[in-house]
Amino acid sequence: MKYIDPHIHMISRITDDYERLAMAGCAAVSEPAFWAGFDRGSVESFRDYFRHLTEVEPKRAAQFGVQHFSWLCINAKEAENVALSREVIAMIPEFIDKPNVLGIGEIGLNKNTPNESRIFVEHLDLAAKLDELVLVHTPHLEDKYKGTRMILDMVCGDSRIKRERVCIDHVEEHTIGPALEAGCWVGMTLYPVTKCTPARAADLVEKYGSQRVMVNSAGDWGPSNPMAVPQFIQELKLRGHGESEISRVVYDNPLTFFGQCRRFNWQSAG
């Protein structure tokens, strides 16, 4: 079945992964800017990273017929460095009109600190001024519920931000409801250890329906599985869900969400 992985960090994955994704039916990936595993020292480091996301990965993906999209920001962990964060935010407009860029992300919170909140709001301001989509990382484990609430308050507190142009990612059982009620899209991340398993994500689709819901692997350099979306498809198939219903979550929904970006140029292979 054709699908899209709307959140995967291909910079951390080997080229063979593109081949496996393509063979499993992956038509496109979207890659948010994230933490590199270490704090970067200067804005030039981010400039090179944004070149990677907008120039290098699209070419690597295209070799396998996979379309590559990306998102730009400084992530929540590095937002503690407010001066650097502001330099990065000021540099984003240089890259925002590259053809594969979908918007600002993955911004969000990590430890729910005042500096993270400050930089989150400044990213939202940039997104509002540039009329861009927003992809939001929510914190892990014990910080998740409070962080998601803080994020929704900040998103809803800026009247210029349209909720249907925001995706709240890494939702779980206790955060999916508030995010959907706020009118945002949600992403469920299928992780082998933390976050959602394919079975838990399938339960959530059965409970909340498929409207404004996407699933992703968030594959990166940590324990993660780039083949997680096909596992989710298999889980729904085994539960007796029909092709069109499954396709809505893993293919139609990402296209609808991404389609709100004025640059979005879909080149479907078939």
* Closest distance to Zn ion from the beta carbon of 19 (Å): 22
Are 107 and 168 contacting, i.e. CB atoms less than 8 angstroms apart? no
Query: Given the complex with Zn ion, which of 34 and 258 has the nearer CB atom?
Result: 34
Both tokens assigned to 161:
């931000």
Judged by beta carbon, residue 169 or residue 235, the one nearer Zn ion is 169
Q: Smaller CB distance to Zn ion: residue 188 or 218? A: 218
From 32-40, 66-74, 95-103, 112-120, span contacting Zn ion (CB under 5 A): 32-40
Residue with tokens 């595993």: 37
Closer to Zn ion at the Cβ: 210 or 216?
A: 216
CA distance 126 to 89: 8
* Contact between 34 and Zn ion per CB under 5 A: yes
Q: Is 49 in the site for Zn ion (CB under 5 A)?
A: no
Minimum Å gap between C-beta 222 and Zn ion is: 10
Nearest-approach distance from CB 120 to Zn ion, in angstroms: 15
- The residue range among 29-37, 50-58, 124-132, 150-158 that interacts with Zn ion, by the rule CB under 5 A, is 29-37
**Cβ-Cβ contacts under 8 Å for 183 (sequence gap 6 or more):** 163, 164
State in angstroms the smallest separation of the CB of 25 from Zn ion: 22
Smallest distance, Zn ion to C-beta of residue 241, A: 27
Find the shortest distance in angstroms from Cβ 242 to Zn ion. 30
In the complex, least distance from residue 32 CB atom to Zn ion, rounded to whole angstroms: 5
Does 3 interact with Zn ion (rule: CB under 5 A)? no
183 phi-psi bin (left φ>0, alpha ψ -120 to 50, beta other): left
Contact string 195-234 vs Zn ion (x = CB under 5 A): -----------------------x----------------
Which of 58/105 has CB closer to Zn ion? 105
Q: Identify the residue whose tokens are 């699933």.
A: 215
Number of residues that bind Zn ion (CB under 5 A): 2
The contacts of residue 121 (CB under 8 Å, 6+ apart) are 154, 158
Does residue 212 contact residue 253 with C-beta atoms inside 8 Å?
A: yes
CA distance 175 to 89: 28
Q: Say if CB 176 and CB 204 are below 8 A apart.
A: yes
Q: Rounded CA gap, 130 and 132, in Å?
A: 6
Segment lying near Zn ion (by CB under 5 A), choices 31-39, 41-49, 64-72, 201-209 = 31-39
Q: Cβ atoms within 10 A of the Cβ of 98, count?
A: 16
Q: Which residues contact 250 (CB under 8 A, 6 or more apart)?
A: 1, 3, 4, 214, 215, 229, 232, 233
Dist CA 118 CA 11 (whole Å): 28
| Bridge partners (DSSP) listed for residue 189 | 216
Q: Tell me the closest approach of the beta carbon of residue 106 to Zn ion, in angstroms.
A: 5
Show contacts with Zn ion in window 144-183 (CB under 5 A).
none
Q: For residues 10 and 126, which CB has a smaller minimum distance to Zn ion in the complex?
A: 10
Residues at the interface with Zn ion (CB under 5 A): 34, 218
